[in-house]
Amino acid sequence: MRAVLVGPPGAGKGTQAQILASELSIPKVSTGDIFRANVSGGTELGKQAKAYMDRGDLVPDEVTNAMVRDRLAQEDAQGGFLLDGFPRNVAQAETLNKILGDLDERLDAVLELRVDEEEVVKRLSGRRSCRNCGHVQHVDFDPPATAGVCDACGGELFQREDDKEETIRHRLEVYREQTAPLVQFYENEGILLTIEAVGSVADVTARAKAALGNRS
């Protein structure tokens, strides 16, 4: 199974990618993970990527494409993969088709997670991260015992730049503009599957597996 997962920030895409990849026994290939490794490693690409991400903007295609090409050529991705966070636009989708064509492969399915935007704003803007251990809590859904203090280690909780309402709304707007044509692109290719990403994590996983199962 060679599949792509698309969905707005806050749709639980990373969580589903992890679970689905494990259940389908294929590697999860996430640009988020690749970016974070570059950022924490302080590479030149990482520094460039971080400046864009802190503003809620997308990392430029040429930076991302190079990393994805390397990743998909690795041994563990030869029997299939689940891409999370790539492609984000039609240009990247065309690049992906080219990368796969060079490897004599093609995509089997694109799974779109659909959610309500106001729900996303509520979910994400309430997140608070620990400066000390990275633990994430939520002001409504997982409130700390003492306001502003991490339940896990007693460190200071803060709102990441990514989780500020203004940044979230900007990211949703960017997602809408860039991803609507992407979804159309894959619909035209006849490989688009859309599910509602509401309810529990297990509910969404079940829906995703049912949709993907019809495809393999």
Catalytic center residues: 13, 88, 127, 160, 171
Phi-psi region of 171 (alpha: psi -120 to 50; beta: other; left: phi over 0): alpha
Cβ 53 to Zn ion, closest distance in Å? Answer: 22
Cα gap 99→39, rounded to integer Å? 24
Contact 32, 83 (CB under 8 A): no
Compare residues 40 and 216 and give the one whose CB is closer to Zn ion.
40
Compare residues 130 and 212 and give the one whose CB is closer to Zn ion.
130
Cα gap 209→97, rounded to integer Å? 24
Compare residues 116 and 151 and give the one whose CB is closer to Zn ion.
151
Cβ 145 to Zn ion, closest distance in Å? Answer: 12
Cβ 157 to Zn ion, closest distance in Å? Answer: 8
> If you count them, how many residues does the chain have?
216
Contact 1, 108 (CB under 8 A): yes
Q: How does DSSP classify residue 126?
A: T
Compare residues 158 and 181 and give the one whose CB is closer to Zn ion.
158
Site residues (CB under 5 A) for Zn ion? Answer: 130, 132-133, 135, 150, 152-153, 155
Cβ 159 to Zn ion, closest distance in Å? Answer: 15
Give strand ranges (E) for 106-200: 109-114, 127-130, 136-138, 157-158, 192-196
Cβ 46 to Zn ion, closest distance in Å? Answer: 24
How many CA atoms does the CB half-sphere of 115 hold within 13 Å? Answer: 24
Tell whether omega for the bond before 144 is within 30 degrees of 0, i.e. cis. no
Cα gap 185→21, rounded to integer Å? 24
Compare residues 2 and 128 and give the one whose CB is closer to Zn ion.
128
